[in-house]
Structure 1
Amino acid sequence: MDDQQIPLDVVGVRVELPSKQPVLVLRGAAEGTEKQHVAIMVGAAEANAVAAAMEGRTPPRPLTHDLLVDALNGLGGGVETIEIGLLDSQTYSGTITLTGGHILDARASDAIAVAVRVNCPVTMDENTLAAVAVTPRFRTVSADGEQAASSDPADRPAQSKGPISEAEIEEFQKFLDSAGPDDFRS
Structure 2
Amino acid sequence: MIEMRVAGIAVDTVTRSPIVLLKDVLDRRALPIYIGQDQAKAIISALERQTPPRPLTHDLMVNFLEEWSITLDRVIIHSLQDNTFYASLCVSQGETKKEIDARPSDAISIALRTGSPIWVMEEVIADASIPVDQDKDEEERRAFREFVSNIRPEDFLHRGGYSRGT
Give the structure-1-normalised TM-score. 0.67
- After TM superposition, where is structure 1 displaced by more than 6 Å over at least 4 residues in a row? none
Aligned to 1:14: 10
Which residue, 58, 73, 77 being the options, matches 1:65? 58
1:88 aligned to 2:81? yes
Superposition deviation, residue 87 in structure 1: 4.5
Conserved in 2, the CA contact under 8 Å of 1:69 and 1:78? no
Superposition deviation, residue 132 in structure 1: 1.2
1:127 aligned to 2:123? yes
Aligned to 1:165: none
Deviates more, 1:45-54 or 1:92-101: 92-101
Which residue, 105, 124, 129 being the options, matches 1:109? 105
Aligned to 1:155: 135
Aligned to 2:35: 42
Aligned to 1:169: none
Conserved in 1, the CA contact under 8 Å of 2:80 and 2:124? no
1: distance between equivalents of 2:5 and 2:81?
23
Higher-Rg structure is 2
Superposition deviation, residue 56 in structure 1: 0.9
Aligned to 2:156: none
SS at match of 1:86: strand
What is the root-mean-square deviation in Å for CA atoms of aligned residues? 1.5
Identity %: 30
2: distance between equivalents of 1:154 and 1:86?
24
Q: Structure 2: which 5+ residue stretches go unaligned?
A: 137-166
2: distance between equivalents of 1:109 and 1:7?
16
Aligned to 2:48: 55
Q: Which amino acid aligns with 2:122?
A: E
Superposition deviation, residue 95 in structure 1: 0.4
Q: Structure 1: which 5+ residue stretches go unaligned?
A: 137-152, 157-186
Per-residue Cα deviation, 1:117-170 (whole angstroms, up to 9, x for no partner):
01111001112212211115xxxxxxxxxxxxxxxx4337xxxxxxxxxxxxxx
Q: How many matched pairs?
A: 133
Superposition deviation, residue 111 in structure 1: 0.3
SS at match of 1:23: strand
